[in-house]
Structure 1
Amino acid sequence: MSDTSPFTLAASAEMLYLDLPFTERVRRVADQGFQVEIWDWSTKDIDALTATGATFSSMTGYLTGDLTSPDGIDALLTSARASLTVADRLNCPRLNLHGTGLNPQGLPVHPISRTTPAMWLTAADTLRRIAALGEEANRVFTFENLNLAVDHPGTPFARAADTLALVRAVDSPHLRMNLDLYHAQIGEGNLIELLGQALPYIGEIQVADVPGRCEPGTGEIHYPAIATALQDLGYTGVVALESWARHHPDTALAAFRAAFTPVRPEQVRP
Protein backbone atom coordinates (compact mmCIF):
# COMPACT_ATOMS: atom_id res chain seq x y z
CA MET A 1 0.00 0.00 0.00
CA SER A 2 1.17 3.51 -0.80
CA ASP A 3 1.27 6.12 1.94
CA THR A 4 1.61 8.97 -0.54
CA SER A 5 -1.42 11.11 -1.28
CA PRO A 6 -2.21 11.83 -4.94
CA PHE A 7 -3.12 15.36 -3.85
CA THR A 8 -1.07 18.27 -2.55
CA LEU A 9 -2.00 18.45 1.13
CA ALA A 10 -2.07 21.72 3.08
CA ALA A 11 -3.36 22.81 6.47
CA SER A 12 -4.42 26.09 8.01
CA ALA A 13 -2.11 27.33 10.74
CA GLU A 14 -4.95 29.54 11.93
CA MET A 15 -6.86 26.65 13.51
CA LEU A 16 -4.15 24.28 14.77
CA TYR A 17 -1.58 24.46 17.62
CA LEU A 18 -3.47 27.37 19.12
CA ASP A 19 -1.31 27.39 22.25
CA LEU A 20 1.77 28.35 20.22
CA PRO A 21 2.92 31.64 18.66
CA PHE A 22 1.77 31.85 15.06
CA THR A 23 5.20 31.43 13.47
CA GLU A 24 5.72 28.25 15.49
CA ARG A 25 2.34 26.95 14.32
CA VAL A 26 3.52 27.41 10.75
CA ARG A 27 6.69 25.46 11.50
CA ARG A 28 4.76 22.62 13.12
CA VAL A 29 2.48 22.22 10.12
CA ALA A 30 5.36 22.44 7.63
CA ASP A 31 7.57 20.03 9.59
CA GLN A 32 4.93 17.34 9.11
CA GLY A 33 5.12 17.69 5.35
CA PHE A 34 2.10 19.92 4.72
CA GLN A 35 1.89 23.19 2.86
CA VAL A 36 0.62 26.04 5.02
CA GLU A 37 -2.39 28.32 4.71
CA ILE A 38 -2.90 31.62 6.51
CA TRP A 39 -5.72 34.14 6.78
CA ASP A 40 -5.31 37.88 7.45
CA TRP A 41 -1.70 38.63 6.54
CA SER A 42 -1.85 42.14 8.02
CA THR A 43 -1.60 40.71 11.53
CA LYS A 44 1.48 38.59 10.73
CA ASP A 45 5.24 39.14 10.71
CA ILE A 46 5.81 38.34 7.05
CA ASP A 47 9.60 38.27 7.37
CA ALA A 48 9.32 35.73 10.20
CA LEU A 49 6.94 33.60 8.15
CA THR A 50 9.31 33.65 5.20
CA ALA A 51 12.17 32.60 7.47
CA THR A 52 10.33 29.41 8.48
CA GLY A 53 11.01 27.92 5.07
CA ALA A 54 7.39 26.76 4.84
CA THR A 55 5.62 26.46 1.50
CA PHE A 56 2.56 28.68 1.61
CA SER A 57 -0.39 27.37 -0.36
CA SER A 58 -3.02 30.06 0.24
CA MET A 59 -3.62 33.33 2.06
CA THR A 60 -6.43 35.83 2.35
CA GLY A 61 -6.51 37.98 -0.78
CA TYR A 62 -8.22 41.07 0.64
CA LEU A 63 -8.64 42.94 3.90
CA THR A 64 -11.91 44.80 3.39
CA GLY A 65 -14.52 45.65 0.80
CA ASP A 66 -17.21 43.85 -1.15
CA LEU A 67 -18.22 42.90 -4.69
CA THR A 68 -21.12 45.25 -5.32
CA SER A 69 -21.03 48.70 -3.67
CA PRO A 70 -18.85 51.45 -5.24
CA ASP A 71 -16.86 52.12 -2.06
CA GLY A 72 -16.67 48.41 -1.30
CA ILE A 73 -15.34 47.57 -4.75
CA ASP A 74 -12.64 50.22 -4.47
CA ALA A 75 -11.62 48.91 -1.04
CA LEU A 76 -11.59 45.31 -2.27
CA LEU A 77 -9.39 46.10 -5.27
CA THR A 78 -7.01 48.22 -3.18
CA SER A 79 -6.55 45.53 -0.54
CA ALA A 80 -6.26 42.83 -3.24
CA ARG A 81 -3.32 44.75 -4.72
CA ALA A 82 -1.70 44.97 -1.27
CA SER A 83 -2.31 41.26 -0.76
CA LEU A 84 -0.56 40.45 -4.03
CA THR A 85 2.54 42.25 -2.79
CA VAL A 86 2.58 40.04 0.32
CA ALA A 87 1.88 36.93 -1.76
CA ASP A 88 4.99 37.74 -3.77
CA ARG A 89 7.05 37.90 -0.59
CA LEU A 90 5.68 34.55 0.59
CA ASN A 91 5.70 33.01 -2.91
CA CYS A 92 2.06 32.12 -2.25
CA PRO A 93 0.19 31.12 -5.45
CA ARG A 94 -3.44 31.48 -4.30
CA LEU A 95 -5.30 34.32 -2.61
CA ASN A 96 -8.72 33.71 -1.11
CA LEU A 97 -11.87 35.86 -1.42
CA HIS A 98 -15.43 35.85 -0.04
CA GLY A 99 -18.66 37.44 -1.17
CA THR A 100 -18.09 40.36 1.18
CA GLY A 101 -15.80 41.50 3.97
CA LEU A 102 -16.10 39.47 7.19
CA ASN A 103 -15.54 40.63 10.75
CA PRO A 104 -13.34 38.65 13.22
CA GLN A 105 -16.35 36.48 14.11
CA GLY A 106 -16.81 35.50 10.47
CA LEU A 107 -19.96 37.59 10.03
CA PRO A 108 -20.41 39.95 7.07
CA VAL A 109 -19.58 43.56 7.86
CA HIS A 110 -22.61 44.52 5.79
CA PRO A 111 -25.06 41.60 5.82
CA ILE A 112 -27.35 41.21 2.82
CA SER A 113 -30.61 39.30 2.91
CA ARG A 114 -31.27 39.34 -0.85
CA THR A 115 -29.07 39.70 -3.91
CA THR A 116 -30.64 41.44 -6.88
CA PRO A 117 -29.92 40.75 -10.58
CA ALA A 118 -27.99 44.02 -10.73
CA MET A 119 -25.80 42.89 -7.83
CA TRP A 120 -24.99 39.65 -9.63
CA LEU A 121 -23.87 41.55 -12.72
CA THR A 122 -21.77 43.94 -10.64
CA ALA A 123 -20.20 41.07 -8.69
CA ALA A 124 -19.18 39.34 -11.91
CA ASP A 125 -17.64 42.57 -13.22
CA THR A 126 -15.70 43.07 -9.97
CA LEU A 127 -14.40 39.53 -10.11
CA ARG A 128 -13.23 40.10 -13.69
CA ARG A 129 -11.18 43.01 -12.37
CA ILE A 130 -9.82 40.79 -9.60
CA ALA A 131 -8.88 38.13 -12.15
CA ALA A 132 -7.05 40.78 -14.19
CA LEU A 133 -4.99 41.67 -11.12
CA GLY A 134 -4.18 38.00 -10.66
CA GLU A 135 -3.10 37.69 -14.27
CA GLU A 136 -0.78 40.68 -13.98
CA ALA A 137 0.85 39.16 -10.88
CA ASN A 138 0.78 35.55 -12.10
CA ARG A 139 -1.35 34.55 -9.09
CA VAL A 140 -4.77 32.95 -8.73
CA PHE A 141 -7.60 34.39 -6.67
CA THR A 142 -9.92 31.72 -5.27
CA PHE A 143 -13.55 32.50 -4.44
CA GLU A 144 -14.73 30.50 -1.42
CA ASN A 145 -18.23 29.27 -0.70
CA LEU A 146 -19.50 29.71 2.87
CA ASN A 147 -22.47 28.35 4.80
CA LEU A 148 -25.29 30.63 5.87
CA ALA A 149 -26.96 28.39 8.44
CA VAL A 150 -24.19 28.12 11.05
CA ASP A 151 -21.13 30.28 10.48
CA HIS A 152 -21.76 33.12 8.03
CA PRO A 153 -25.41 34.26 7.90
CA GLY A 154 -26.03 37.28 5.70
CA THR A 155 -23.07 36.71 3.38
CA PRO A 156 -23.97 37.31 -0.27
CA PHE A 157 -22.92 34.90 -3.05
CA ALA A 158 -22.07 32.34 -0.38
CA ARG A 159 -23.46 29.02 -1.60
CA ALA A 160 -21.25 26.73 -3.67
CA ALA A 161 -23.74 27.13 -6.52
CA ASP A 162 -23.29 30.92 -6.29
CA THR A 163 -19.50 30.86 -6.31
CA LEU A 164 -19.48 28.35 -9.16
CA ALA A 165 -21.86 30.51 -11.22
CA LEU A 166 -19.70 33.62 -10.79
CA VAL A 167 -16.39 31.86 -11.42
CA ARG A 168 -17.86 30.21 -14.51
CA ALA A 169 -19.16 33.59 -15.75
CA VAL A 170 -15.72 35.20 -15.41
CA ASP A 171 -14.04 32.12 -16.92
CA SER A 172 -10.46 33.09 -16.13
CA PRO A 173 -7.63 30.80 -14.99
CA HIS A 174 -6.79 33.55 -12.50
CA LEU A 175 -10.15 33.22 -10.73
CA ARG A 176 -11.06 29.76 -9.48
CA MET A 177 -13.27 28.25 -6.79
CA ASN A 178 -12.07 27.47 -3.32
CA LEU A 179 -14.59 24.69 -2.79
CA ASP A 180 -14.98 24.28 0.97
CA LEU A 181 -16.71 20.96 1.56
CA TYR A 182 -17.49 21.72 5.21
CA HIS A 183 -19.54 24.73 4.16
CA ALA A 184 -21.03 22.89 1.18
CA GLN A 185 -22.21 19.99 3.34
CA ILE A 186 -24.08 22.35 5.67
CA GLY A 187 -25.50 24.42 2.84
CA GLU A 188 -26.16 21.99 0.03
CA GLY A 189 -24.83 18.46 0.53
CA ASN A 190 -24.54 16.05 -2.43
CA LEU A 191 -20.80 16.60 -2.31
CA ILE A 192 -19.54 14.10 -4.86
CA GLU A 193 -22.00 15.36 -7.47
CA LEU A 194 -20.93 18.92 -6.64
CA LEU A 195 -17.27 18.01 -7.14
CA GLY A 196 -18.02 16.68 -10.59
CA GLN A 197 -19.92 19.81 -11.59
CA ALA A 198 -17.30 22.20 -10.22
CA LEU A 199 -14.14 20.32 -11.20
CA PRO A 200 -13.12 22.48 -14.21
CA TYR A 201 -13.28 25.60 -12.03
CA ILE A 202 -11.70 24.36 -8.80
CA GLY A 203 -8.48 26.00 -7.68
CA GLU A 204 -8.44 24.39 -4.24
CA ILE A 205 -10.55 22.20 -1.98
CA GLN A 206 -10.86 22.79 1.76
CA VAL A 207 -12.18 20.23 4.24
CA ALA A 208 -13.45 19.78 7.77
CA ASP A 209 -16.10 17.48 9.18
CA VAL A 210 -19.69 18.30 10.12
CA PRO A 211 -20.77 19.12 12.79
CA GLY A 212 -17.99 20.76 14.79
CA ARG A 213 -15.59 21.71 12.01
CA CYS A 214 -12.96 19.25 13.15
CA GLU A 215 -10.76 16.82 11.25
CA PRO A 216 -12.05 14.03 8.95
CA GLY A 217 -13.52 11.11 10.87
CA THR A 218 -15.15 13.23 13.59
CA GLY A 219 -18.49 13.79 11.86
CA GLU A 220 -20.86 12.78 9.11
CA ILE A 221 -18.78 13.27 5.94
CA HIS A 222 -17.09 10.10 4.68
CA TYR A 223 -13.92 11.74 3.45
CA PRO A 224 -12.22 8.58 2.16
CA ALA A 225 -15.08 8.32 -0.35
CA ILE A 226 -14.55 11.98 -1.27
CA ALA A 227 -10.85 11.29 -1.83
CA THR A 228 -11.60 8.31 -4.06
CA ALA A 229 -14.11 10.36 -6.06
CA LEU A 230 -11.54 13.12 -6.54
CA GLN A 231 -9.00 10.58 -7.71
CA ASP A 232 -11.54 9.13 -10.15
CA LEU A 233 -12.23 12.64 -11.45
CA GLY A 234 -8.52 13.17 -12.06
CA TYR A 235 -8.07 15.95 -9.49
CA THR A 236 -4.44 16.28 -8.38
CA GLY A 237 -4.53 19.78 -6.87
CA VAL A 238 -4.53 21.12 -3.32
CA VAL A 239 -6.71 19.69 -0.57
CA ALA A 240 -6.41 21.76 2.59
CA LEU A 241 -7.46 21.02 6.15
CA GLU A 242 -9.24 24.07 7.55
CA SER A 243 -10.46 22.63 10.82
CA TRP A 244 -10.10 22.64 14.56
CA ALA A 245 -8.45 19.65 16.19
CA ARG A 246 -10.87 17.48 18.17
CA HIS A 247 -8.02 16.37 20.45
CA HIS A 248 -4.39 17.02 19.44
CA PRO A 249 -3.33 18.77 16.23
CA ASP A 250 -0.86 15.98 15.41
CA THR A 251 -3.73 13.50 15.52
CA ALA A 252 -5.91 15.77 13.38
CA LEU A 253 -3.23 16.08 10.73
CA ALA A 254 -2.65 12.33 10.72
CA ALA A 255 -6.38 11.69 10.26
CA PHE A 256 -6.49 14.21 7.43
CA ARG A 257 -3.53 12.60 5.67
CA ALA A 258 -5.04 9.13 6.04
CA ALA A 259 -8.42 10.24 4.66
CA PHE A 260 -6.80 11.73 1.56
CA THR A 261 -4.45 8.86 0.83
CA PRO A 262 -6.97 6.57 -0.88
CA VAL A 263 -6.11 2.92 -1.37
CA ARG A 264 -7.02 1.36 -4.69
CA PRO A 265 -8.17 -2.28 -4.76
CA GLU A 266 -5.16 -3.10 -6.94
CA GLN A 267 -2.89 -1.72 -4.24
CA VAL A 268 -4.10 -4.23 -1.67
CA ARG A 269 -2.14 -7.46 -1.66
CA PRO A 270 -4.12 -10.65 -1.02
Structure 2
Amino acid sequence: MLLSPCIEWMFAEAHADMGDRIRAAAAAGYSAGEFHLWRDKNLESVAAALRETGSKLTGACVDPRRSLVDPAQQDEFAQAVEESLAAARTIGSPPMIIASGFTREGVSEGEHFAAAVAALKRAAALAEAADVMLVLEPLNDRVEHPGMWLVSTTKGLDLIEAVGSTHLRLLYDVYHSQVMGEDMEAVLRGRIHLVHHVQVADMPGRNEPGTGTIDWGKAMQTLRDLGYTGAIGLEYRPTLPPAESLAATRAALGL
Protein backbone atom coordinates (compact mmCIF):
# COMPACT_ATOMS: atom_id res chain seq x y z
CA MET A 1 0.00 0.00 0.00
CA LEU A 2 1.21 3.51 -0.82
CA LEU A 3 2.00 5.50 2.34
CA SER A 4 1.18 9.21 2.18
CA PRO A 5 2.45 11.41 5.05
CA CYS A 6 0.24 14.28 6.13
CA ILE A 7 2.60 17.16 5.45
CA GLU A 8 0.30 19.54 7.29
CA TRP A 9 2.13 18.22 10.37
CA MET A 10 5.02 16.09 9.12
CA PHE A 11 8.24 18.00 8.26
CA ALA A 12 6.57 21.19 9.53
CA GLU A 13 9.26 22.13 12.06
CA ALA A 14 12.02 22.22 9.46
CA HIS A 15 10.02 23.55 6.51
CA ALA A 16 7.45 26.34 6.58
CA ASP A 17 6.73 26.05 2.86
CA MET A 18 4.51 23.17 1.73
CA GLY A 19 6.57 22.66 -1.42
CA ASP A 20 9.66 22.09 0.70
CA ARG A 21 7.74 19.54 2.78
CA ILE A 22 6.91 17.65 -0.42
CA ARG A 23 10.62 17.67 -1.28
CA ALA A 24 11.48 16.46 2.23
CA ALA A 25 8.96 13.64 1.97
CA ALA A 26 10.39 12.63 -1.40
CA ALA A 27 13.92 12.68 0.00
CA ALA A 28 12.73 10.39 2.80
CA GLY A 29 11.38 7.94 0.22
CA TYR A 30 7.70 8.95 0.09
CA SER A 31 6.23 9.78 -3.30
CA ALA A 32 2.89 11.01 -1.96
CA GLY A 33 1.59 13.44 0.61
CA GLU A 34 -1.56 15.21 1.71
CA PHE A 35 -2.56 18.34 3.56
CA HIS A 36 -5.65 20.11 4.87
CA LEU A 37 -6.95 23.45 3.57
CA TRP A 38 -5.42 24.86 0.39
CA ARG A 39 -6.11 28.62 0.51
CA ASP A 40 -3.34 29.21 3.05
CA LYS A 41 -0.81 27.30 0.92
CA ASN A 42 1.47 28.53 -1.87
CA LEU A 43 0.04 26.33 -4.62
CA GLU A 44 2.66 27.44 -7.12
CA SER A 45 5.34 26.11 -4.77
CA VAL A 46 3.35 22.90 -4.25
CA ALA A 47 2.95 22.41 -8.00
CA ALA A 48 6.65 23.04 -8.61
CA ALA A 49 7.66 20.52 -5.94
CA LEU A 50 5.30 17.91 -7.36
CA ARG A 51 6.83 18.37 -10.80
CA GLU A 52 10.39 18.23 -9.48
CA THR A 53 9.90 15.12 -7.39
CA GLY A 54 7.31 13.24 -9.44
CA SER A 55 5.22 13.02 -6.28
CA LYS A 56 1.45 13.23 -6.02
CA LEU A 57 -1.09 14.44 -3.49
CA THR A 58 -3.59 11.97 -2.08
CA GLY A 59 -5.87 14.61 -0.61
CA ALA A 60 -6.62 18.21 0.28
CA CYS A 61 -9.74 19.76 1.78
CA VAL A 62 -12.50 21.68 0.08
CA ASP A 63 -11.92 25.23 1.29
CA PRO A 64 -13.64 27.05 2.90
CA ARG A 65 -15.51 24.45 4.92
CA ARG A 66 -19.27 24.85 4.68
CA SER A 67 -22.19 22.76 5.91
CA LEU A 68 -23.83 20.02 3.89
CA VAL A 69 -26.82 19.90 6.21
CA ASP A 70 -27.71 23.59 6.43
CA PRO A 71 -29.65 24.71 3.35
CA ALA A 72 -28.62 28.31 4.09
CA GLN A 73 -24.97 27.37 3.39
CA GLN A 74 -25.45 25.16 0.35
CA ASP A 75 -24.79 27.83 -2.26
CA GLU A 76 -21.59 28.72 -0.40
CA PHE A 77 -20.70 25.02 -0.20
CA ALA A 78 -21.18 24.58 -3.95
CA GLN A 79 -19.02 27.63 -4.61
CA ALA A 80 -16.32 26.29 -2.29
CA VAL A 81 -16.38 22.97 -4.16
CA GLU A 82 -16.19 24.68 -7.55
CA GLU A 83 -13.26 26.87 -6.51
CA SER A 84 -11.50 23.95 -4.82
CA LEU A 85 -11.84 21.80 -7.94
CA ALA A 86 -10.26 24.60 -9.99
CA ALA A 87 -7.41 24.85 -7.48
CA ALA A 88 -7.00 21.07 -7.55
CA ARG A 89 -6.21 21.18 -11.26
CA THR A 90 -3.09 23.23 -10.53
CA ILE A 91 -1.71 20.61 -8.11
CA GLY A 92 -2.43 17.36 -9.96
CA SER A 93 -6.18 17.04 -9.27
CA PRO A 94 -5.98 15.20 -5.93
CA PRO A 95 -9.13 13.95 -4.22
CA MET A 96 -10.86 16.78 -2.37
CA ILE A 97 -12.09 16.08 1.15
CA ILE A 98 -15.51 17.09 2.52
CA ALA A 99 -16.89 16.99 6.07
CA SER A 100 -20.56 17.38 6.91
CA GLY A 101 -20.84 20.40 9.15
CA PHE A 102 -22.67 20.51 12.45
CA THR A 103 -25.97 19.09 13.64
CA ARG A 104 -28.81 21.61 13.49
CA GLU A 105 -30.81 21.85 16.67
CA GLY A 106 -34.48 20.97 16.28
CA VAL A 107 -34.02 19.42 12.82
CA SER A 108 -34.88 15.76 12.27
CA GLU A 109 -32.34 13.15 11.20
CA GLY A 110 -34.26 12.65 7.97
CA GLU A 111 -34.03 16.34 7.15
CA HIS A 112 -30.29 16.31 7.84
CA PHE A 113 -29.81 13.33 5.54
CA ALA A 114 -31.93 14.79 2.75
CA ALA A 115 -30.08 18.11 2.90
CA ALA A 116 -26.73 16.32 2.75
CA VAL A 117 -27.80 14.25 -0.25
CA ALA A 118 -28.95 17.39 -2.09
CA ALA A 119 -25.69 19.21 -1.37
CA LEU A 120 -23.57 16.21 -2.34
CA LYS A 121 -25.45 15.62 -5.59
CA ARG A 122 -24.73 19.21 -6.57
CA ALA A 123 -21.08 18.83 -5.60
CA ALA A 124 -20.76 15.48 -7.38
CA ALA A 125 -22.01 17.00 -10.63
CA LEU A 126 -19.25 19.60 -10.39
CA ALA A 127 -16.69 16.90 -9.62
CA GLU A 128 -17.81 14.81 -12.57
CA ALA A 129 -17.41 17.78 -14.90
CA ALA A 130 -13.92 18.45 -13.50
CA ASP A 131 -13.05 14.73 -13.32
CA VAL A 132 -11.85 15.07 -9.72
CA MET A 133 -12.81 12.72 -6.90
CA LEU A 134 -14.63 14.06 -3.84
CA VAL A 135 -14.18 12.09 -0.63
CA LEU A 136 -16.60 12.40 2.26
CA GLU A 137 -15.04 12.02 5.70
CA PRO A 138 -16.97 11.03 8.82
CA LEU A 139 -15.25 12.59 11.85
CA ASN A 140 -15.66 12.02 15.59
CA ASP A 141 -17.67 14.19 17.96
CA ARG A 142 -16.17 12.80 21.17
CA VAL A 143 -12.72 14.43 21.06
CA GLU A 144 -12.02 16.88 18.23
CA HIS A 145 -15.36 17.79 16.62
CA PRO A 146 -18.21 18.19 19.11
CA GLY A 147 -21.51 18.73 17.36
CA MET A 148 -20.40 17.26 14.02
CA TRP A 149 -23.32 15.61 12.23
CA LEU A 150 -21.59 12.91 10.19
CA VAL A 151 -19.74 10.74 12.70
CA SER A 152 -20.84 7.33 11.38
CA THR A 153 -19.08 5.36 8.66
CA THR A 154 -22.31 3.52 7.90
CA LYS A 155 -24.21 6.76 7.42
CA GLY A 156 -21.42 8.14 5.25
CA LEU A 157 -21.63 5.10 3.00
CA ASP A 158 -25.41 5.41 2.92
CA LEU A 159 -25.02 8.98 1.68
CA ILE A 160 -22.64 7.92 -1.06
CA GLU A 161 -25.04 5.23 -2.21
CA ALA A 162 -27.92 7.71 -2.17
CA VAL A 163 -25.98 10.20 -4.31
CA GLY A 164 -24.91 7.50 -6.77
CA SER A 165 -21.92 9.27 -8.34
CA THR A 166 -18.65 7.64 -9.40
CA HIS A 167 -16.92 10.86 -8.29
CA LEU A 168 -18.02 10.68 -4.66
CA ARG A 169 -16.45 8.12 -2.33
CA LEU A 170 -15.62 7.73 1.37
CA LEU A 171 -12.51 8.69 3.28
CA TYR A 172 -12.30 6.11 6.07
CA ASP A 173 -10.23 7.44 8.97
CA VAL A 174 -9.32 4.59 11.33
CA TYR A 175 -8.74 7.02 14.20
CA HIS A 176 -12.13 8.74 13.97
CA SER A 177 -13.86 5.39 13.52
CA GLN A 178 -12.16 3.90 16.58
CA VAL A 179 -12.90 6.96 18.72
CA MET A 180 -16.57 6.42 17.82
CA GLY A 181 -16.34 2.77 18.89
CA GLU A 182 -16.96 1.29 15.44
CA ASP A 183 -16.02 -2.23 14.36
CA MET A 184 -14.02 -1.74 11.15
CA GLU A 185 -14.87 -5.08 9.61
CA ALA A 186 -18.58 -4.69 10.38
CA VAL A 187 -18.99 -1.18 8.98
CA LEU A 188 -16.92 -1.78 5.82
CA ARG A 189 -17.95 -5.35 4.96
CA GLY A 190 -19.39 -5.48 1.44
CA ARG A 191 -18.85 -1.75 0.92
CA ILE A 192 -15.09 -1.35 0.57
CA HIS A 193 -15.58 -0.47 -3.11
CA LEU A 194 -17.04 2.82 -1.88
CA VAL A 195 -13.86 3.69 0.07
CA HIS A 196 -11.34 5.72 -1.92
CA HIS A 197 -8.86 6.60 0.82
CA VAL A 198 -7.88 5.48 4.32
CA GLN A 199 -6.14 7.54 7.00
CA VAL A 200 -4.48 6.34 10.20
CA ALA A 201 -3.54 7.68 13.62
CA ASP A 202 -3.52 6.03 17.02
CA MET A 203 -5.81 6.70 19.95
CA PRO A 204 -5.75 8.36 22.36
CA GLY A 205 -3.71 11.34 21.25
CA ARG A 206 -3.91 11.07 17.44
CA ASN A 207 -0.19 10.30 17.26
CA GLU A 208 1.87 7.67 15.44
CA PRO A 209 0.42 4.19 15.03
CA GLY A 210 1.96 2.15 17.82
CA THR A 211 1.66 4.87 20.45
CA GLY A 212 -1.87 3.99 21.57
CA THR A 213 -4.42 1.23 21.91
CA ILE A 214 -5.37 0.34 18.32
CA ASP A 215 -4.34 -3.16 17.19
CA TRP A 216 -2.68 -2.17 13.92
CA GLY A 217 -1.83 -5.69 12.86
CA LYS A 218 -5.53 -6.56 13.02
CA ALA A 219 -6.61 -3.28 11.41
CA MET A 220 -4.28 -3.65 8.43
CA GLN A 221 -5.17 -7.30 7.95
CA THR A 222 -8.86 -6.37 8.00
CA LEU A 223 -8.30 -3.79 5.26
CA ARG A 224 -6.41 -6.35 3.17
CA ASP A 225 -9.06 -9.02 3.75
CA LEU A 226 -11.80 -6.60 2.71
CA GLY A 227 -9.90 -5.84 -0.50
CA TYR A 228 -8.60 -2.34 0.11
CA THR A 229 -5.56 -1.61 -2.07
CA GLY A 230 -5.46 2.20 -2.03
CA ALA A 231 -3.19 4.65 -0.25
CA ILE A 232 -2.82 5.01 3.50
CA GLY A 233 -2.72 8.62 4.65
CA LEU A 234 -0.50 9.08 7.72
CA GLU A 235 -2.66 11.80 9.25
CA TYR A 236 -1.23 11.89 12.74
CA ARG A 237 0.60 14.40 14.93
CA PRO A 238 4.19 13.15 15.11
CA THR A 239 5.86 12.85 18.51
CA LEU A 240 9.28 12.02 17.01
CA PRO A 241 11.54 13.56 14.36
CA PRO A 242 10.23 12.70 10.87
CA ALA A 243 12.60 9.83 10.05
CA GLU A 244 12.00 8.14 13.40
CA SER A 245 8.28 8.82 13.31
CA LEU A 246 7.83 7.36 9.84
CA ALA A 247 10.00 4.32 10.64
CA ALA A 248 7.98 3.63 13.80
CA THR A 249 4.75 3.99 11.82
CA ARG A 250 5.87 1.57 9.10
CA ALA A 251 6.81 -0.95 11.78
CA ALA A 252 3.46 -0.60 13.55
CA LEU A 253 1.54 -0.97 10.28
CA GLY A 254 3.71 -3.82 9.07
CA LEU A 255 4.49 -2.00 5.82
TM (normalized to structure 2)?
0.90
Instruction: Name structure 1 gaps, 5 residues minimum.
Output: 1-6, 101-107, 263-270
Contact (CA 8 Å) 2:71, 2:115: kept in 1 or not? no
The one-letter amino acid paired with 1:192 is: E
Q: C-alpha separation between the residues in 2 aligned to 1:182 and 1:47?
A: 32
CA-CA distance at 1:134 after TM superposition:
1.1
- With over 3 angstroms needed to count, the CA separation of the structure-2 counterparts of 1:246 and 1:195, relative to structure 1, is farther
**RMSD of Structure 2 on Structure 1 (CA):** 1.8
User: Any stretches of 5+ residues in structure 2 without a counterpart?
Assistant: none
Q: CA deviation at 1:250?
A: 1.7
Aligned partner of 2:137 in structure 1 is 144
Q: Higher mean Cα deviation, 38-47 or 57-66?
A: 57-66
Q: Which residue does 2:10 correspond to in 1?
A: 16
Q: For 1:222-241, what aligned pairs fall within 5 Å after superposition?
A: 222-241=215-234
1:97 CA displacement: 0.2
TM-score, normalised with respect to structure 1: 0.85
2:186 & 2:30 partners in 1: Cα distance?
30
> What percent identity do the matched residue pairs reach?
30
Cα deviation, residue 233, structure 1:
2.0
Residue 95 (str. 1) matches residue 96 (str. 2): yes
**Which of 24, 27, 38 matches 2:23?**
27
Corresponding residue SS for 1:42: coil
Name the structure 2 match of 1:57.
Answer: 58
8 Å Cα contact 1:112/1:155 also seen in 2: no
2:252 aligned with 1:256: no
1:67 maps to what in 2?
68
Map 1:173-252 to 2 at 5 A.
Answer: 173-252=166-245
Q: Which runs of 4+ in 1 moved over 6 A?
A: none
Q: CA deviation at 1:194?
A: 2.5
Contact 1:58 1:95 in 2 (8 A): yes
Deviation at 1:113, TM superposition (A): 4.9
Q: Compute the displacement of 1:261 (Å).
A: 4.2
Q: 1:198 to 1:256 in 2, by over 3 A?
A: farther
Structure showing greater relative contact order (alpha-carbon pairs closer than 8 Å, 6 or more residues apart): 1
Report which stretch shifted further, 31-40 or 237-246.
Answer: 31-40
- Structure 2 residue identity aligned to 1:15: W
